[in-house]
Amino acid sequence: MEIIHNFINGQSIPPANDQYLENVEPAIGEIYGKIPRSTEQDIQLAVEAAKAAFPAWASTDIGVRADILSKIADLIDQKRSQLAQAESRDNGKPVKLATLVDIPRASSNFRFFSRAITQWSGSSYFMRGQESLQSFTIHQPLGVVGCISPWNLPLYLFTWKIAPALATGNTVVAKPSEITPYTAYMLGEICNEAGLPPVVLNIVPGLGHEAGQAIVEHPEVKAISFTGGTKTGSIIAGLAAPKFKKLSLELGGKNPNVIFADCDYDKMLKTTVLSSFANQGQICLCGSRILIERSIYNKFKSDFVAKVNSRKVGDPKIDENHLGAVVSAAHQQKILDYIALAEEEGGRILTGGHAIHPKGRCAKGYFVAPTVIEGLDNNCRTNQEEIFGPVVTLQPFDSEEEALALANGTAYGLASTSWTQD
């Protein structure tokens, strides 16, 4: 049983109440570790430490900050394999995907901001007609920043918040998702090794409505960077706004993938299989509503279903598998419930639509077959609500105007794709 603790003051310390949460490996459906169930007490400790560290870190030479972040990037690169294995164990995604995408991106998040911070420029203006007066802007760090991240791209999104906060001289209290905490814990050790002064970064795993909410509500936390569900984003915005905290929210999506008859068909088909099911469809940018010009609808439908049927689902440790496990039993059930809802709403399942039970070590894991559904109206719940799994719907359209109306016809607006050569 692997037990991890809070990373506060550069040390690994147990939660104040000595309470832990179980950490499950979704590919095998078994508990492999325990993580702190941190509370307000732990957040108080972390924020106090980060606040005390702020003056020194904020006044650290930009070149020194840049060098430390660059060293963190180097260490992430060096530890890519261990980090990818840990990411896959926590999240269920293929090790190959974590190795090729998640971990390299975590490294480049630090490398980008280590360079960007040395090129930061302000702006200045002379007052017209009063040349003796000059106004200018300078960027200054805020203080303690709260970073809260989700389970779908654990280290990728965690570092995307932490790197800029640290680069600009802020100190950080960060909470990974309680479902995928392990690479966050490994990042703490990497930061120590890279020479990041202790207490500049504090990592406090725990439940959202407990540790997460304590970060959002803490008066000394001056800004919140959050990625996760839209509902949660709305709760956080409601708590932060009256306290005038700066907010960065990256929330859910129900993204359209609009395919016109004049597209580069082979390139579109190959990419659409990836953009529909990469990371088991658990990426906020995945195109979950595929809109196809009617003249190529039947051709696309049969070609796409044939390609989806060639996708291999199974043990994330086996490179030949394209899809691994979804992140938890609860999320697997949520996806299966949406598939049942799609059928109730009149949808026709063209392929998939069920759980998968691979043989061997993953027999009890949480796997869902890549699923393609047609025959649903754009306004039904299946096409309006974020499923966040390997499920896409197909809808034909007859004109650009109709395609636009369908694409824009949800409350979301995170991302969209269109395939055309015009």
Q: Is 418 exposed, middle or buried (0-12, 13-18, 19+ CB in 10 A)?
A: middle
* Pick 212 or 324: Cβ nearer ligand TXE: 212
Determine which residue in the list 7, 54, 57, 151 makes contact with ligand TXE, applying CB under 6 A.
151
Q: Does 232 interact with ligand TXE (rule: CB under 6 A)?
A: yes
Question: Binding segment for ligand TXE among 116-124, 170-178, 263-271, 346-354 (CB under 6 A)?
Answer: 170-178
By CB under 6 A, the residues from 295 to 334 that bind ligand TXE are none
Determine which residue in the list 71, 175, 245, 254 makes contact with ligand TXE, applying CB under 6 A.
175
Per the CB < 8 A criterion, the answer to whether 393 and 284 are in contact is: no
Q: Does 250 interact with ligand TXE (rule: CB under 6 A)?
A: yes
Report the half-sphere exposure of 409 (CA within 13 A, side-chain side).
Answer: 21
Rg (CA), the chain: 23
Query: What's the closest the beta carbon of residue 226 comes to ligand TXE, in angstroms?
Result: 6
Query: How far is Cα 6 from Cα 346, in angstroms, rounded to an integer?
Result: 48
Determine which residue in the list 150, 188, 314, 370 makes contact with ligand TXE, applying CB under 6 A.
150
* Pick 99 or 180: Cβ nearer ligand TXE: 180
131 carries an active-site annotation? no
Q: What are phi and psi of 283, to 5 degrees?
A: -130, 135
* Pick 215 or 259: Cβ nearer ligand TXE: 215
DSSP code of residue 323: B
Report the half-sphere exposure of 338 (CA within 13 A, side-chain side).
Answer: 26
Query: What's the closest the beta carbon of residue 393 comes to ligand TXE, in angstroms?
Result: 16
Determine which residue in the list 85, 168, 177, 288 makes contact with ligand TXE, applying CB under 6 A.
177
Query: How far is Cα 309 from Cα 182, in angstroms, rounded to an integer?
Result: 33
Q: Which two tokens stand for residue 128?
A: 């017209």
Determine which residue in the list 94, 141, 228, 370 makes contact with ligand TXE, applying CB under 6 A.
228
Query: How far is Cα 82 from Cα 278, in angstroms, rounded to an integer?
Result: 21
Query: What's the closest the beta carbon of residue 176 comes to ligand TXE, in angstroms?
Result: 6
Question: Binding segment for ligand TXE among 45-53, 67-75, 121-129, 145-153 (CB under 6 A)?
Answer: 145-153
Determine which residue in the list 107, 227, 275, 279 makes contact with ligand TXE, applying CB under 6 A.
227
Per the CB < 8 A criterion, the answer to whether 134 and 126 are in contact is: yes
Q: Does 229 interact with ligand TXE (rule: CB under 6 A)?
A: yes
The closest of 230, 169, 281, 260 to 410, measured between CA atoms, is 230
Q: Which two tokens stand for residue 60?
A: 């650290």
Q: Does 236 interact with ligand TXE (rule: CB under 6 A)?
A: yes
Q: Which two tokens stand for residue 244?
A: 């005038």
Determine which residue in the list 27, 45, 167, 251 makes contact with ligand TXE, applying CB under 6 A.
251
The closest of 236, 147, 132, 216 to 188, measured between CA atoms, is 147
Q: Does 218 interact with ligand TXE (rule: CB under 6 A)?
A: no
Selecting among 191, 284, 286, 362, the annotated active-site residue is 284
Selecting among 40, 220, 250, 343, the annotated active-site residue is 250
Determine which residue in the list 66, 173, 196, 284 makes contact with ligand TXE, applying CB under 6 A.
284
Region at 279 (left for phi over 0; alpha for psi -120 to 50; beta for the rest): left
Cα Dmax for the chain: 79
Question: Binding segment for ligand TXE among 30-38, 146-154, 344-352, 390-398 (CB under 6 A)?
Answer: 146-154
Q: Would you give the distance in Å from CA 349 to the centre of its chain?
A: 28
Q: Does 388 interact with ligand TXE (rule: CB under 6 A)?
A: yes
Which are the catalytic amino acids?
A: 250, 284
**Interacting residues toward ligand TXE by CB under 6 A:** 148-152, 175, 177-178, 208-209, 212-213, 216, 227-229, 232, 235-236, 250-252, 284, 386, 388
